[in-house]
Amino acid sequence: MIIPLEKTNKRKLYQTNRESYSTNNISKISKIYDEKINVLILKRELNNKFFDIAKKIFIKKPNLKFSKVLSPYEVEESLINAIGFEKKLFPIFEDIFFLSSIFSDLFDVKKIWLRINTINHPMCPRFHVDNVKCRLVSTYFGPGMQWLPNNSVNRSKLGLINHGIDDEKSGVFESKNDIKQLDLGDVAFLKGDAWSGNAGLGAVHRSPHSQKNYKRMYVRIDFSDIKLNRRYFND
Ligand SMILES: [Fe+2]
């Protein structure tokens, strides 16, 4: 089932030729190749054991900064080396292998850039666009990434032009109700400005905001050849 998210919004504030899609059918993720789509959400209902395992990893490695370019087939061994050989952790290692494989297959790349972090503060607290082709993002523990539907974002208010004004005051969105947030286990594919033909139309997103008890474990997968251009508040 594919739900065009923009059609769920009553208000349409800004004209755009980009759309967001949500699906629970993995065979539909190739829709990311549709020029009009710059945010694709694969909805998943992960077993609660994944959240428990992620919490264990957070406690075991509270400042984990795993970052490697590797093939999907190297993922599990690499995670065992970085986090530990404990059978109870294996289901999450297998799921990260699964995410690595779908990214590799979807974009026909042998190597991926895999990053896994545990963190206790927002990494990119302001809405921004990344200068990447397409990034996979998923959260196993803690609050999920926030993003703005294309017709709810005032792109003229993004980036350094705001001189550090909070998103809530900058006018980048009109109402807090416009902000979408990933649920745990959901997988987001975010097209950035470096995707061919997508310059100036990348997915607008930020780290989740939470006033207290901010603890997260999340995964990001990128093309291995990206050169990060910190055009906005990139990470
Ligand atoms: Fe980002």
From CA 65, how far away is CA 216, in angstroms rounded?
12
Rounded to the nearest angstrom, the distance between the alpha carbon of 182 and the centre of ligand 1 is: 14
Rounded to the nearest angstrom, the distance between the alpha carbon of 113 and the centre of ligand 1 is: 15
Rounded to the nearest angstrom, the distance between the alpha carbon of 234 and the centre of ligand 1 is: 5
Domains and CATH numbers, the chain: 2-223 (2.60.120)
Distance, CA of 94 to chain centre: 19
Angle between helices 90-107 and 48-60 (to 10 degrees): 100
pLDDT digits (tens, 9 = 90+) for 30-50: 999 999 999 999 999 999 999
Least confident of 76-85, 196-205, 222-231: 222-231
Rounded to the nearest angstrom, the distance between the alpha carbon of 205 and the centre of ligand 1 is: 6
pLDDT digits (tens, 9 = 90+) for 150-160: 888 888 888 76
Q: Which residue pairs, CB below 8 angstroms and at least 24 apart, start in 79-83?
A: 79/116, 83/57
Rounded to the nearest angstrom, the distance between the alpha carbon of 206 and the centre of ligand 1 is: 6
From CA 222, how far away is CA 188, in angstroms rounded?
12
What pTM value is reported for the model? 0.88
Rounded to the nearest angstrom, the distance between the alpha carbon of 11 and the centre of ligand 1 is: 26
Rounded to the nearest angstrom, the distance between the alpha carbon of 213 and the centre of ligand 1 is: 22
Spell out the alpha helix ranges (H) of 174-217: none
